[in-house]
Amino acid sequence: MNRRTAIKQFFIIAGGLTILSSCLNDGGASIVLNKLKISAEDEQFLGDLANILIPKSDTPGGKDLNLHLFVIKMVDDCESPENQAKFVAGFNKLRKQLNLANSKETEAALAGLKDKTDEKAFFDIFKSRAVQGYMNSEYVMKNKVIYKLIPGPYNGAVKVKA
């Protein structure tokens, strides 16, 4: 079986349960995806979720930094087909259970995912990718936890400031 056929079949199988279903006609994701089918509505939802995970304060939140797009991109390109299927299946289940308008309620729901295998699988991937995107974002690396291309001389014994 060639790769393209394999991918198509994956989407028909996974697609039955998923994102693909109701959202076909309301526009796609704002980034080019090879495997995942993400609608504009899905994208909106994931953006709101990114803002609940990393809220806006005096510094930008998850949605401002487009962490949801980063998550989708990484799941699309870097996760295995198995993890992609988990991501999609868990997302479809979880989104029906969350009321993102109420962030307190959502935080509580997300904190209580321990026994919901599918939903937890989705959220674990979402969170770890979003955190990866956040810590590697230009904003954080330039302003907060600073990355230096040229770090200066190596010092192997620096007294830690109290």
Point out which residues bind another protein (CB under 8 A).
52-55, 57, 59, 61, 73-74, 77-81, 103, 107, 110-111, 127, 131-138, 140-141, 144-145, 147, 149-160
Smallest distance, another protein to C-beta of residue 122, A: 14
Count of Cβ atoms closer than 10 Å to residue 141 Cβ: 14
Smallest distance, another protein to C-beta of residue 24, A: 25
b/e 32-63 (16+ beta carbons within 10 angstroms → b)? eeebbbbbeebbebbbbbbbbbbeeeeebbbb
The partner residues of 39 in beta bridges, in order of sequence, read 28
Three-class secondary structure of residue 151 per DSSP: coil
Residue closer to another protein (CB basis): 21 or 136: 136
Smallest distance, another protein to C-beta of residue 123, A: 9
Computed over its alpha carbons, how large is the radius of gyration of the chain? 18
Residue closer to another protein (CB basis): 117 or 139: 139
Residue closer to another protein (CB basis): 41 or 124: 124
Pick the closest to residue 73 from 14, 131, 121, 30 (CA basis).
30
Residue closer to another protein (CB basis): 23 or 124: 124
Smallest distance, another protein to C-beta of residue 71, A: 12
